[in-house]
Amino acid sequence: MPSEQGLHKAFSTCLPHLAVLSLFVSTVLFAYLKPFSISSPSLDLVVSFLYSVVPPTVNPLIYSMRNQELKDALGKLMTKWILKAMN
């Protein structure tokens, strides 16, 4: 049985890859499997934007989430944002 630290390291390496892969796959599936009845140029533009712009933009953020300092800073930012939204 692997140690808990080993499992944590494996998942922290694997989960960012799965997140990026699922983003690619979900946009491709939507683009190619959507019914023709909901096809429109604006929807095609949004899907192509999601496929071509969002993953490369989010990719560094996803992979840098393994850095504890970045996780802490992002947590503080989200906490401030949520508290500001509640007031």
For the stretch 8-57, pLDDT in tens is 777 777 777 787 788 788 878 877 887 777 778 888 888 888 778 877 88
Measured from the Cβ of residue 27, the count of other Cβ atoms closer than 10 Å reads 19
Q: Which two tokens stand for residue 31?
A: 């683009």
CA dihedral in degrees (40, 22, 74, 12; nearest 10)? 180
pTM, rounded to two decimals: 0.52
What pLDDT, on the 0 to 100 scale, is given for residue 2? 65
Task: State the Cα–Cα distance between residues 27 and 14, nearest whole angstrom.
Answer: 20
